[in-house]
A and B are shown apart, each in its own frame.
Chain A
């Protein structure tokens, strides 16, 4: 992304929504940028980390989102603009601090950028960050296209400074990971000076200490700030209307949904009957502006994704002003015209519009649709998600699964968030039996491990990744040690925050800026807590399995097994194969082997192919990464590995 820092005002580039947000922050003169990796948000911090040294920014991947927000707030309180980026789930983690920060207030502009994932395209839930704005009484902005993603980010810092409180700029997957044309503004070049002024009068917002107390005073001040934001929003250029003066139906929408709505209006050719009010400022709503458009018609459709956040706000306003604007008919999530789960798209909005306006809408002829559906059903195979070829997790779960089968006491694994969540599927031998938030495998295991007095006898395992270990597993482990809970934690240490693109974490000797930094050793941390710790290479299948069985049989408290092997997608691994793999077709017995095609049917690495014609296994040289472990699972020794010179 070489042009992200180009000064050329007025130049136009194709940018991802996330890049547009990063550019907007640069144009605002941001100095401190923090975050924790999470799709679809990660590119924002990554892009800024790459230009950090040149632009004199401080950028860090923090241990978790709460710490990220605290680090960013320190920048704001010291008079430098700061931004904090995370996926939606991160706001849940950071929320305790955010509640207090909204009370104490901020100084230099501070912008929180959560990226939500409607439809859970790469998440384990479709949680909403918009409600935090209402819950904590901080302004919420939602860009409706790529240019706005940049421009609103820049403006969010100014808004934050004019009310001296954090501002939320919420993106969604289809904005963050989509791309469009963006015209650049200028990047400021003035120097900044950081100092936390804290010796002034206790209630002085700029010179006093940063406190959320006295609570009633601060809360009153906070509500004055929201009132001011509401007034600013009345004349905000990011709230736009497009459509006839007296529409038959008014759509109120925001975010990527405004692009879907615009397209749906065009598909149906109802530009002359349907109006589109696109709101960039979705909390607090600017009441005069919204009332003005509500007055234009009697039928209102609210288009938004997942929960009816905007719908509720608009309905409250409409109820309060019914005596002025009359009674309205609302369409949206509550009546089911817009789905209340999953992401939207132009078709879903077009269908809703067609239903309300009683228009016949058919994307293609029945004949074509039926033919395409029939051929696809016959020919298009499902593509189940799987671990990559050469992925250490496949090896780890192979051993975990086998150890639990050998143990025979109905043991199970508690999981959390990472690529290894896939172990709930056949690719991980369906080993994972619980899946919740970051670090929750360890916390749940700590609870399961205390149920012995009620007759609970199942062995309990938990897994977490190396980055997750630092993010949220440590408190659960301390809890387990302190309460003598009996379970085994397997740390799947693949050398980085792999799922989101190898961002560094505290276990590594490098940070987001590429500087050499001290690392925190997972094994030493666990030992210091009092856990029994073992370290293995998961590619040593038998050694890993044996160690696991020993740890599972040990009934005394917390045991930790660190399985250390770098992710197959890491640059180191991609540089070349360790082994060249071949099949000895004389040795592979195929259907006649008692293994029942263990390698292709159960182990299921994409590099191993069952040859339907020859009735033997073969290696797909393009897919195989040469990790070599399948050689160890073949009972006939038909899979051969040879070290690549």
Chain B
């Protein structure tokens, strides 16, 4: 069984974003890293219309004892990874609580009504203030921008996973990441994924 006791039983993580950001892939990598450590993992995913511009979220439940409901009860997230800024706030509305920690990718993906000029997307400062107001600790990470520098914006999800490994008490080890990611990507993509994971870790040096 596991070497390290979980901070909560079960420990609840939500990864949220917009369809196409690699949300499902991120949740499965995280989950498989923890399965290797002997935990029971339950993932609940929103599918279907999500690829067509909608909000997506994955609920990940980590337990030493059993599988749990694939939907986390309201107000019971322990950590939230937001691949898109306003989606982080959307999640905190339902699953947040004063003790939740939040890792937030700062690059927006505008909904159609915003790009159509019908409604305005909030300023990043406003979102940051809300995030600080609703979570106990927040890390703002320019994951998409870093990923674009690496040559592919989809790597934002891996950067955010790296960031989580840097701030949470979960046993997320580089070796496990390497092994799990290798089973999902072509071998020639390994280096860039490892690099992305490391960037995420480095980005969470200090809570802002």
A residues neighboring B (CB under 8 Å): 2, 12-14, 39-40, 121-123, 145-147, 173-175, 177-181, 256, 259-260, 262-264, 267, 345-347, 350, 363-365, 368-369, 371-373, 375-376, 378-388, 419, 422, 426-427, 569, 597, 600-601, 604, 606, 608-610, 612, 620, 622
Contacts and interface: CB of A to CB of B under 8 A. Distances in A.
A379 B111 contact: no
B86 interface: yes
Contact of A376 (B46, B68, B90): B90
A569 B51 contact: yes
A178 B43 contact: yes
A382 B113 contact: yes
A271 B118 CA distance: 51
A39 B47 CA distance: 9
A373 B54 CA distance: 20
Contacts of A371: 133-134
Contacts of A179: 28, 31, 41-43, 45, 70
A40 B44 CA distance: 13
Nearest to A599: B116
A435 to B, nearest CB: 14
B35 interface: yes
Contacts of A364: 74-75, 96-98
Interface of B: 18, 28, 31-32, 35, 40-49, 51-55, 67-76, 86-87, 89-90, 92-93, 96-98, 110-122, 126-127, 130, 133-134, 148, 153, 183
B31 A14 contact: yes
B35 A381 contact: no
A381 B41 contact: no
A384 B46 CA distance: 16
Contacts of B98: 364-365, 368
Nearest to A618: B115
A179 B116 CA distance: 37
5 contacts: A178-B43, A345-B73, A346-B73, A381-B113, A601-B116
A604 B116 contact: yes
Q: Which of B68, B70, B71 has the most CB of A within 10 A?
A: B70
Q: Main secondary structure on chain A at its contact with chain B?
A: mixed
A121 B69 contact: no
A256 B68 CA distance: 10
A345 B71 CA distance: 6
A525 to B, nearest CB: 29
B47 A40 contact: yes
Enumerate the 8 nearest inter-chain pairs by beta-carbon distance, A residue then B residue, closest first: A122-B48, A178-B70, A363-B75, A610-B117, A364-B75, A376-B93, A180-B67, A363-B74
B18 A383 contact: yes
A121 B46 contact: yes
B54 A347 contact: no
A263 B35 contact: no
A246 B119 CA distance: 57
A610 B74 CA distance: 36
B85 to A, nearest CB: 9
Contacts of A267: 73
Nearest to A179: B43
Given A368-B97, A383-B53, A608-B115, A39 B48 contact: yes
A372 B96 contact: yes
Contacts of B126: 379
Contacts of B52: 385-388, 419, 422
A260 B118 contact: no
A619 to B, nearest CB: 11
A159 B80 CA distance: 44
A371 B135 CA distance: 12
Q: Which of B18, B41, B115 has the most CB of A within 10 A?
A: B115
A14 B41 contact: yes
